[in-house]
Amino acid sequence: MEAKKQLSGHCLCGAVTVHVTAAEMKFGACHCAMCRRWAGGPLLAIDCGTQVAFDGEQHISIYDSSEWAQRGFCQQCGSHLFYRLKANQQYMMPPGLFDDIDQIKFDHQIFIDEKPDYYDFANETHNMTGEECFAAFNSAQD
């Protein structure tokens, strides 16, 4: 399996198309309360790095959801497009946006300490609490 791959995809209505230069071919689930509120369950996301381009940008709304991140969605159909870290403009994007990702692997879960009891994933994954996630992100920024 390739470590990184070019990906293209689009929102539900096709008003926004996304092109990613080097996406990780693995994805994770975020169980934080904010992601669950936004996504209606855990947010599944691929680390798409910083080299992301959009066609139909005029159809994207951006919500400043915290001090450290923004969330983007299509104004036309409401599709979730990204979770973007403000510090480095790094995009986390739902795998469902993309075509040709059959070989992607579910390998990590974050904010596992906030996951409710009413669901579980069967996959073996690397699990991090919210505190561990922030510590890892902060050490990567130093």
Q: Which residues contact 42 (CB under 8 A, 6 or more apart)?
A: 29, 30, 31, 35, 36, 109, 115, 119
Domain interval for residue 53: 4-141
- What is d(CA 15, CA 74) in angstroms, rounded to the nearest whole number? 8
- Number of separate domains in the chain: 1
Question: Residue 62: which CATH number?
Answer: 2.170.150.70
Averages of pLDDT over runs of 10 residues in the chain (142 residues) are 85 98 95 95 96 98 95 98 95 95 93 96 96 79 54
Tell me the whole-structure pTM to 2 decimals: 0.90
